[in-house]
Amino acid sequence: MSTLPPTPPPRAITARAAENGLIISGCICLLLFLCGLTSVFSPASLLLWAGSLAMPVVIYRILARSYCRAHCSLGFAELWAEGIASFFLGSLVPAMVTYLLLRFAFPDFVPDQIDRTIEAFKALGTPEGDQWAQTLIDIRTKAPMPTAADIAANLISFNIVVGTALSLLVTPLVKLRNRCDKCANENKNN
């Protein structure tokens, strides 16, 4: 007869993903802020790169925590699905914030960025730069500018694709690096 207490079943994937989504949402909001800041303060691009490169570490820690809390009983597919769902849920708030900012606070952000890019290409003074500038001018005159809703929807889609790829790459590492004995020690400390 075993003297160990029974291990509780792992929490539902939706509950774990919602909790993880809050963390990912904060990270994505920070990256969006830095992205907007780069248009007026170019050194912010270094912070944007650092934050982007930190996302695999964030998703690794999130999935490793879930794996350990479940006493290493989660399979590959469940961990991967948790990562995807976490990115989906984590992209909803940033998409809403982006929509509200582009719709009401900075409605000219996209056209201004296109104008700045055209000016930058023209300033190069090369035939290639002039060709790129003319291409952007043609696009601007022939096609409508993306709306705030378009950008918010694309942000959600982008984050789901990135989340799927990152989770696919990180999940095997979580399973390899987090053994049950290591997880048991961490669960005792928590």
What number of CA atoms fall less than 13 Å from residue 137's CA on the CB side?
A: 11
Cα(44)–Cα(93) distance, rounded to whole angstroms?
22
Residue 137: C-alpha distances to residues 89, 126, 160 (Å): 36, 16, 31
Q: Give Dmax over CA atoms of the chain in angstroms.
A: 82
What is the model's pLDDT at position 63?
A: 95
- Contact between 91 and 155 under an 8 Å Cβ cutoff? The reply is yes
User: pTM score, two decimals?
Assistant: 0.82
What is the model's pLDDT at position 67?
A: 93
Q: Is the dihedral of CA 160, 94, 171, 190 positive or negative?
A: negative
- Other C-beta atoms closer than 10 Å to the C-beta of 123 total 10
What is the model's pLDDT at position 4?
A: 61
pLDDT along the chain (190 residues), means of 10: 64 92 95 90 94 96 93 92 96 96 93 93 94 94 93 96 96 88 56
